[in-house]
Amino acid sequence: MAHEMSGEELRRYREQRGMNQQALVGWLNERLNRRYDRAKISRWETGAERIPQIVAGALKTATEPVGIPAAAVRAAPVVFCAANQKGGVAKTTTCVNVAWLLAQSGRRVLLIDCDPQANATVHLGVDPHERELAKATLTHALKASRPMKEFMTPVCDGAFDLLPSSISLAAADRELLRQPNGTLILRAKIAQLAGLYDFVVLDCPPHLGELTVSVLNAADQLLIPTQTEMLSMMGIPQLFETIAGVRELVNPRLQILGVLPTMYSPRRLQDETVMKELRELAAAEQLRLFSPVKRAADYSKSVMAGRPGLAYNPNSAGAESFREIADSLLALAGEEMRHGA
């Protein structure tokens, strides 16, 4: 009789191929035409359930590389950020949901909360105060010489990792990041994560201070979320100027992924007017305009539940827009792989 695969053996198989549990689910379901989920892989790995012969056989006899090549072998993660110095335009909501979708597609994702308000941290059910007491926040990671990994915590039942923020980041913005080369610390720390993540998602505070500049110095792809209200577009020219400076001096890789209209109410005249202006801006600047995210109560409710809106309700208004963004990042990651970037 064939030797059974143990949970420990399965975990080793998976990790050696740089896959998370979700990636393994995708590979097995496609190959074996099954509907396994991540919980099932967990039960196999902990030994709570026996691993079927067909699964063990598929893994042991696979001739092609197991896993998603783009995710498994890419060295440096794609670094994505959402920035706009205007407050309350759905930067955090976008980051949390895009991180969730990337993780759902089997990619290894880290979200770094770069805002002292710690909204992403709270949104993902983590207590910033407790993390501050445990000295396990972005502030501590920036100051320490220890690996970033030590400051992270898994969120959404292990779907992705979070490097939490807390109010002490405001002091870091004033002190640490204003030292010579201070706005390069985050970039250097992220460079140490090569091979560990496929995507790093950075959530910015609502101003163009040292933290936002640190994020722009580190990012490959920038999304500009903007509410479809008259005043929301006002800061965009200033943001363009900052981006141009960052590109010229520090980070020529930085690209604008596009503009995301948010909290859109199709029947309001003001929203229609702003949408028209955004279409003109996108055409003039040759930027992609993503489909607008409609106003929906799910997003505030999901904050209370400590989960991304799309984990709370996958069909929330705006799901399509967030999918467009995640898909364009996945396509970019694949593209860079092919060109060996």
CB of 153 to ligand ATP, least distance (A): 20
229 in contact with ligand ATP (CB under 6 A):
no
Nearest to 161 by CA among 212, 119, 115, 126: 126
If the CB atoms of residues 19 and 263 are measured against ligand ATP, the closer one turns out to be 263
259 in contact with ligand ATP (CB under 6 A):
no
List binders of ligand ATP among 78-137 (CB under 6 A).
87-93, 115, 117, 119
Contact flags string 33-72 toward Mg ion, x per CB under 5 A: ----------------------------------------
Nearest-5° Cα angle at 53, 48 to 59 = 95
If the CB atoms of residues 122 and 289 are measured against Mg ion, the closer one turns out to be 122
119 in contact with Mg ion (CB under 5 A):
yes
Binding at 93: pick from Mg ion, ligand ATP, none (beta carbon under 5-8 Å per type): ligand ATP
Q: Say how many residues touch Mg ion, by CB under 5 A.
A: 3
17 in contact with Mg ion (CB under 5 A):
no
Chain positions contacting ligand ATP, by CB under 6 A: 87-93, 115, 117, 119, 206, 262-263, 293, 295-296, 299-300, 303, 318
Chain positions contacting Mg ion, by CB under 5 A: 91-92, 119
